[in-house]
Structures are given as C-alpha cells and as structure tokens.
Amino acid sequence: MTTTTTTTTVPEAPPLTGPDHRVRRRRPLTPGRRLPAARLAGPLLLVVLWAAASAAGALDPGAIPAPWTVVETGAHLWTDGTLPDDILTSLQRAATGFVLGLVAGVVLALASGLTRTGEALIDGTVNLNRAIPTLGLIPLFILWLGIGETFKIAIIAIVVYIPIYLNTHAALSGIDSRFVELAEVQGLNRLRFIRQIVVPGALPGFFVGLRLGVTGSWLGLVVLEQINATSGLGYMMFQAQNYGQTDVILVGLVVYGVFGLVSDSAVRLIERRVLSWRRTLSS
C-alpha cells in the first residue's frame, strides 16, 4: 500500500507598501539642523541664573539690579518716551554707517579681487587700515569732520567695511582655478563670468564678513554715542553712569544685545536661503 504525501506551499505575504504601512525613518538631527529657538537657550539660562542669584540675595542690588528691576526701569523709560527716541537715533546711525561700509567693502573687494591693479593698490591699504585701531582714529576724524554726526557714521562705516572686504576678498582669491579654466573654455564674457563664477564663489565669504560687520556696527555705536551726543542708547548709558543708575545702564546693554542677536539671526537666515545650494551642515 502506497501513501502519497501532498506538500502545500503557502505563498508569502506581499510586502506592505500601502500608505499606512510605510517605514518611517528618523532623520538624524545634525548640528546644523538646530531649531532657531535653540539659540535662545543660553541667554535664557543666563537670565534664570541672574534671577535666582538676585532672589537669594547673592548679588548687590546697587551693583547688579535684579532682572525685574531692569524690566520695570525699561518700561518706565519706554512710557515716558526716552527709550523709543534713543533707540530710533541709534538705529539711524547704525544703519547709515552699515550701508556705507557694506557698499565700500563689496566694491573694494571686487576691484581688488578681479584686477591685478586693484590688488596692488587696495589690498595693502586696507590691511594697513586694519592694523590701526579704528577707535584710535576718532580724534583725527573729529578734526577732519567735526564733532557732529558725520564722524560717528564714518567710524561705523570703517568698522563695517573691513571684515566685509577681508572675507569677500579671501573668498574671491579662493575660487578654484578649474572653474576659471572652464569659463574660458565655454567662452563666457566678463559679465557672465562674474555672475556665474565670481558671485557664487564669493557669497560664502561675503556672508561671514556681513555677520562680523553687523556686530561691529553695534560695538562701535556703544563708544561713539558717548562722545558729544545728545541722544542715543550710548548717551543714555553715559548719563546713567554719571548718576549711578546701574539699572538704566543694564537696560541699554540689553537693548544692544537684542539688536545684535536679531540682526545676526536675520543675516544667518538670508545666508541659509541664498546658499541653499551648498551641501553643508547648515544648508
């Protein structure tokens, strides 16, 4: 008697490919993909420590007032119109000097980076200017331009244009020679060469200089507004120093810090949008 064994093959289930069965992969959070709000963690921690030390009585209120005291002073200065007027005056000075320095830095960098004559005439002069402390030029500029607003704007422009020139010029000098050879092979004219080779190659360095220039404009403003000024945040802080008003000085420092952080963040945002073609951690 013969027994026949039948083997039944069970077909394998097809892979789940529907919309509800997709395999989700978590994208690793690289250092360049930090949330923008994460940059506020450090300043907020500093304020928390400041408040805790003030509440515990570890800080002398006369030397370092508590954060709530600074907030109350700032609110009082804002309601009586002093703080808005000083902020507007400081913004006008910083913006005017920044625009002049930005234009000068870019024009000089292009002239020096694209022509040998410009390199010979401009680069050494700018580096000589960089070696001279900018604030040391204040007495000379006062003799040349007077004690008014003109010399303040001129000093801010110098503080701004130097980092913009240096970083843009370095980026131009670092453009790969193979791209230049490719442009010659393709027969690009001068305008297309600048637009397709020079500008993309110079933008990374330009934005580095721009961030330094924005910060420098605020740093220079702190000093300049204490010299023969009748308004502005620096003038407000100088007057507070004469009367021993530490809380008013801290209000001015906080406003300077906020403006510096906001302007730097704005430049970084523009940089990320403009240079989105770069495959870097921050792109």
Please state the domain extents for the chain: 63-274
pLDDT of residue 84: 93
Output the pTM of the full model.
0.78
CATH class of 63-274: mainly alpha
Residue 226 CA to residue 209 CA, distance in Å, equals 26
Question: By the 8 A CB rule, do 42 and 54 touch?
Answer: no
Residue 166 CA to residue 105 CA, distance in Å, equals 8
Copy the structure tokens of residue 93: 């000075």
Query: Integer distance in angstroms from the first to the last C-alpha of the chain?
Result: 78
Residues of the chain with pLDDT under 70: 1-38, 278-283
pLDDT of residue 37: 63
pLDDT of residue 23: 46
pLDDT of residue 36: 55
